[in-house]
Amino acid sequence: MKKVKSTASLPAWSALALALPCLFSHSVRAEETEVIVISASAQPESWLNSAASVELSPLPAQGIIIDSAQIFGAISGVQADSRANFAQDTRVSIRGFGSRSAFGIRGLHLQQDGIPLSTPDGQGQLSSVLLDSVAQVEVLKGPLAALYGNASGGVISLYSRAPVQNAVTASVAGSEQHRQYQLQADWVSGDHSLSTAVKQFRTDGYRPHSAAEKQQAQLLYKTLLANSVNLSARLDYARDPSLQDPLGITLSAWQQNPQQTDSAAEQFDTEKNSRHRQLSLSLSAYDDPDRWQLGSWLGDRQVNQRLAFTGSALSSAGGEVVLQRQFKGINGSYRLLHGDTYSIRAGGSLVQSDDERLGFVNDFGQRGDLRRDQTDSADNTDAFVRFNWQPAALWQVQGGWRYSELKLSIADRFILPQNPDDSGVKQFYNDAFALGLSYRIAPGFSWFVSAGTGFESPTLAEIAYQTDDTGVNLALNASTNQQWESGFKWLSDGLSASLSYFNVDSKNELLVDSNTGGRTSYRNAAKTERHGAELQLNWQTNAYLRQQLTASYLSAKFADAGLDGKRLPGIADSQLHWQLAVQPWQDSTEFALHSQYRSKVYIDDTNSNSAPSALTFSLSARHSQQWQQLNLAYWLVLDNISDKDYVGSVIVNQSNGRAIEPAPGRQLSAGISVGYNW
């Protein structure tokens, strides 16, 4: 049987090019080619043999990629809330993990090219990633994700596009609100390659007071050192000079006028600006990249954000936040034992971040007096062991153990009689276990089952406040979960499919206790219960017609005495995505119809109200031409064809009532790119 080469030792574009025929080509037989995934076992393995729910997705071939929610629409079990607000990062959850996040991504492990994007305490965001330079997304769900350590309810792995020839490409795109410009240059010479990309994006916003400007750049260099070591160096830069925040609105206000902005946005001039810089280095053995791997990274992030209140009380943290973060880390793994039917690898990581955090009075858009001055630190030390074992030709066993130590510390320097010392230290010691079994029923058909335990500590942001504003909340404990899943995978001529069922029981899960005026406090819930099913189908009827269907059902409820039977807020219990793509002239032209359904979403723990369900449609068309060394590509996208009013995201447990973040209406966008290669 012919197998695809390891994606760890191939450029990301090559891994994608090799994987896509397995998913879509009508001429490839399942017994001849296999899809290769990495995240479940931390090393390349057959998708059919993996004892986990792992899904691959290329980035959209057309459209203005300005929201990370755009890259998850076709992956079952992932809920990506498009907030239509560039001052607030996209909220992403997997099987309910991460749904409570007030901002950014929480409860999930994020990484790009094997380098973590998450901080030691489990916070993260994708807004700093130049998504146009990402070739493929791999999502790991279920018990084996817990082996990535703290706050790993799921794993999102991004793989950067790597150059294959010398080329220069310029792109322009726009819509009624947006304008985007991008320049990309690739250089390849022997064992050396260099890819650079810069992007400028501006928008007037969908609602009043929602204009934004973003600037991004990425440089990726790959080479071979001393004919024995692969080196990859990536430099990321993101600057957001101005991101206006239109805030959420109440449900009644949304029903009256979905595109309005709350008056507090103008009153307090709510906005955000940020800068993110990161250098990442990866090393691996040239002859066998899986034998050992080493990665390191360092960077800084600056954020200045004005919130929708003054924060003038001396006990307040202020209504304007100024944050300067320094972060660094190192991780690595080494294959201890390796044979024809088994392998054992061990590794670890050291990660640190330090936040210098200031808070000022928001004097209605002007910076006022100091209200907060402290240093927040997070230090994480991990060690792990992973194994793969094939006891018989049709059986595959994999699993592992991970131990984590996390220290969160706050050093308060703003100490007054009305604002006592809020310094404190909280330490967490947790471990995770997971075990999975896969059986190849037929050449293109397999069954799998896995079980494990995981944990999720509070973040620095989550311990920052108590409900009564008396200081840091050191009473919070890490939540623990026990989960299992089982399913089937099928890969045949023109068809790939997976069906899985899962169950998650959590104790001490962190839930929003109070959310008002930009201050969110949390509490530990006694217990929550989640179970559901996911379906993923990709099939190609012939050389011209391709379809994709993903569906997921999630029942997520409290099992706490006070909220027993209530559904977890921020989570849709059912989602459906269907896409029909037609290529009448092979690969040069494609027309596609997309549909997306999401059920209602409750806005608070008591289920007092909910954002209604929504079904939306969009159309896209793309065409490419080539004249010798010149390439021309252009596309057209019509989103929300029916101009439906629907809710893109909810802000969970928002005590001031502004829980609704409206989605955009109908929008037509177009783009063109011109490239020259040699």
Is pLDDT at 102 greater than 80 in this prediction? no
DSSP letter, residue 60: P
**pLDDT of res. 295:** 97
**pLDDT of res. 67:** 82
**pLDDT of res. 474:** 85
Q: What is the mean pLDDT of residues 481-510?
A: 94
Burial class (CB in 10 A: 0-12, 13-18, 19+), 427: exposed
% of residues, the chain, pLDDT over 70: 94
Could you read off the pLDDT of 110-145 as tens digits, one per residue?
A: 999 999 999 999 888 898 999 999 999 999 999 999
- What CA–CA distance (Å, rounded) separates 582 from 542? 10
**pLDDT of res. 519:** 63
- What CA–CA distance (Å, rounded) separates 366 from 388? 58
Quote helix, strand, coil % in the chain, to nearest 5.
5, 60, 35
Q: Kindly report the CA angle at 24 between 23 and 28, in degrees rounded to 5? A: 85
Q: Are strands 109-112 and 154-160 parallel, antiparallel or unpaired?
A: parallel
Angstrom CA distances, 332 to 43, 191, 349, 448, stand at 13, 23, 7, 28
**Could you tell me which of 342, 408, 326 has the C-alpha nearest to residue 151?**
408
Cα 674 → chain centroid:
30
Q: What is the mean pLDDT of residues 153-171?
A: 94
Could you read off the pLDDT of 285-315 as tens digits, one per residue?
A: 998 988 999 999 999 999 999 999 999 988 8
- Residue 54's contacts (CB-CB under 8 Å, 6 or more residues apart) are 37, 39, 40, 47, 138, 139, 140, 141
DSSP line for 145-188:
GGGG-TT-SEEEEEEE----S-EEEEEEEEESSEEEEEEEEEEE
Could you read off the pLDDT of 185-241 as tens digits, one per residue?
A: 999 999 999 999 999 999 999 999 999 999 999 999 999 998 899 999 999 999 999
Is pLDDT at 524 greater than 50 in this prediction? yes
**Could you tell me which of 588, 554, 587, 585 has the C-alpha nearest to residue 572?**
554
Angstrom CA distances, 623 to 77, 185, 432, stand at 31, 22, 48
The SS3 assignment for 251 reads helix
**Could you tell me which of 329, 314, 326, 313 has the C-alpha nearest to residue 280?**
329
Split at pLDDT 50, 70, 90, the class of 17 is very low
Angstrom CA distances, 474 to 106, 422, 480, 579, stand at 19, 10, 17, 47
Split at pLDDT 50, 70, 90, the class of 596 is very high
**pLDDT of res. 553:** 98
Is pLDDT at 491 greater than 90 in this prediction? yes
Q: Pinpoint the alpha helices (H) of 245-287.
A: 251-256, 263-268
- Residue 621's contacts (CB-CB under 8 Å, 6 or more residues apart) are 62, 589, 590, 591, 592, 635, 636, 637
DSSP line for 73-104:
TTSTTEEEE--S-TTSPPEEEETTBTTT-SSS
Instruction: Tell the residue number behind the tokens 């794993």, with chain if given.
Output: 155
**pTM for the whole structure:** 0.92
227 or 446, greater pLDDT = 446
State the chain's mean pLDDT as an integer: 89
Could you read off the pLDDT of 406-439 as tens digits, one per residue?
A: 999 999 999 998 888 888 899 999 999 999 999 9
Angstrom CA distances, 637 to 14, 64, 619, 640, stand at 27, 9, 6, 10
- What CA–CA distance (Å, rounded) separates 46 from 44? 7
**pLDDT of res. 3:** 37
Is pLDDT at 319 greater than 80 in this prediction? yes
% of residues, the chain, pLDDT over 90: 73
275 or 12, greater pLDDT = 275
* Residue 280 dihedral angles phi and psi, to the nearest 5°: -125, 135
Could you read off the pLDDT of 423-432 as tens digits, one per residue?
A: 889 999 999 9
